[in-house]
Amino acid sequence: MAAILPTGFDVWVKDNLFRSVLINVVLAVFNMLPLPPLDGGRMAVGVLPRRLALPLARLERWGLFIIVGALLILPTVGRQVGLDLDIFGWLMETPVELIIDAIALMAGLDV
């Protein structure tokens, strides 16, 4: 890449390409969380037995409120009382790291 790009610009391009892949992986993992307004929730409703799928499907009306509460309100309240209530961080960190590592391995990169 250094032969094509001006000096110093190759680092900027590499960093921004990595960030764009990271953003896409985070969005993909977030979208696959098993909460009904998200695609992962719809897949879970389709895969689960009927007696488990119906209550999960009924959550779709409240899913956005659940997401906002879990994403914004719980961590804020947790910080104020001295607890780590970052649920999305717990759920997403490991899958995102595994996918990024797999992409880097397939691309022959060291991350």
pLDDT tens digits, residue range 21-68?
999 999 999 999 988 888 999 999 999 999 999 998 888 889 889 888
Residue 54 to residue 89: CA distance in whole angstroms: 27
Structure tokens at 71: 């994403």
Confidence (pLDDT) at 95? 94
Confidence (pLDDT) at 1? 45
Higher-confidence residue of 20 and 75: namely 20
pLDDT tens digits, residue range 67-101?
888 888 888 898 899 888 888 888 899 999 999 99
SS3 content of the chain, % helix, strand, coil (to 5): 75, 0, 25
The closest alpha carbon to 43, from 31, 34, 52, belongs to 34
Confidence (pLDDT) at 111? 61
Q: Which residue has the tokens 């390409």?
A: 17
